[in-house]
Amino acid sequence: MVLNQDQKCERIASRIARELRDGYYVNLGIGIPTQVANFVPQGMDVILQSENGMLGIGPYPMDSEVDADLINAGKETVTELKGTCYFSSADSFSMIRGGHIDLTVLGALQVDENGSLANWAIPGKMLKGMGGAMDLVAGAKRVFIAMEHVTRDKAPKIVRTCSLPLTGVEVVDFIVTELAVIEVTPDGLLLKEVAADTTVEYVQSVTEPKLLFPLDGPVPMLV
């Protein structure tokens, strides 16, 4: 079975959602990471932080509720919850840099063997800026990467050394793709889970650095 784009994103987002715990403060990046919010288990309070100054992001509004003064960091209109609070960008990044965010989920262009991340620039091609990503990887307690395993041209995104401008050095804890869950350890990249519709050999073939295996081998990817 070949997964389409939506199915890949859904698998990645739902896997990362299994890492959430009641009471977590979480910052989700733009793209696949945003979708993790759709998989928060019923009855669990996970407070989503938005770096533009909000704790407690609610769902998208009804048409009648749309408010230009209420957006998330992706500039999408959102709603508030009972218990939501607002604050300045300086306060927002005090939370982020100061180690108060339990988990952040970000996209990536490249992640390397040591957990260094590149996700904000392609010299000469893409000029966007790093936004809050460098602060998030510097300050969040755990950094998860949610991304497709390879580029559109099928080139590995998990590489020996990032060739693109870095977002942070040795900052990633886990990489979750549609194929695998990989932990960044001091010894290298540990292949912890492999999706049911692929093989260890295939995952290695589309991953540049040599993967390490747990003693009992990787388990099927939880979804």
- Would you name the residues annotated as active-site residues? 51
87 binds other proteins, rule: CB under 8 A: yes
7 binds other proteins, rule: CB under 8 A: no
Count other C-beta atoms under 10 Å from residue 83's C-beta.
9
Question: Do residues 180 and 203 touch, judged by C-beta distance below 8 A?
Answer: yes
Smallest separation (angstroms) from other proteins to the CB of 72: 8
- Select the residue interacting with other proteins from 14, 131, 188, 204 (CB under 8 A): 131
Please enumerate in sequence order all residues whose Cβ is within 8 A of that of 25, keeping only pairs 6 or more positions apart, or say none.
Answer: 47, 49, 55, 95, 100, 101, 102, 103
DSSP symbol at 65? G
- Select the residue interacting with other proteins from 90, 154, 186, 196 (CB under 8 A): 90
Among the listed ranges 14-22, 71-79, 195-203, 211-219, the one in contact with other proteins (CB under 8 A) is 71-79
135 binds other proteins, rule: CB under 8 A: yes
Where b means 16+ CB within 10 Å and e means fewer, 158-178 reads bbeebebebbbeebbbbbbbb
- Select the residue interacting with other proteins from 3, 39, 40, 77 (CB under 8 A): 77
Q: Name which of 128 and 152 has its Cβ closer to other proteins.
A: 128
Among the listed ranges 46-54, 148-156, 185-193, 195-203, the one in contact with other proteins (CB under 8 A) is 46-54
122 binds other proteins, rule: CB under 8 A: no
Separation CA 57–CA 46 (nearest Å): 10
Helix (H, G, I), strand (E, B) or coil at 81: strand
**First-to-last C-alpha distance (Å) of the chain:** 16
58 binds other proteins, rule: CB under 8 A: no
Please enumerate in sequence order all residues whose Cβ is within 8 A of that of 124, keeping only pairs 6 or more positions apart, or say none.
Answer: none
Cβ neighbourhood burial of 150 (10 Å; 0-12, 13-18, 19+):
middle
- Select the residue interacting with other proteins from 166, 181, 184, 211 (CB under 8 A): 166
1 binds other proteins, rule: CB under 8 A: no
Size of the site for other proteins (CB under 8 A): 54
104 binds other proteins, rule: CB under 8 A: no
Smallest separation (angstroms) from other proteins to the CB of 12: 14
Question: Do residues 39 and 14 touch, judged by C-beta distance below 8 A?
Answer: yes
Which positions lie near other proteins, rule CB under 8 A? 31, 35, 38, 50-54, 59-63, 66-78, 80, 86-90, 92-93, 96-97, 116, 124, 127-135, 138-139, 165-169
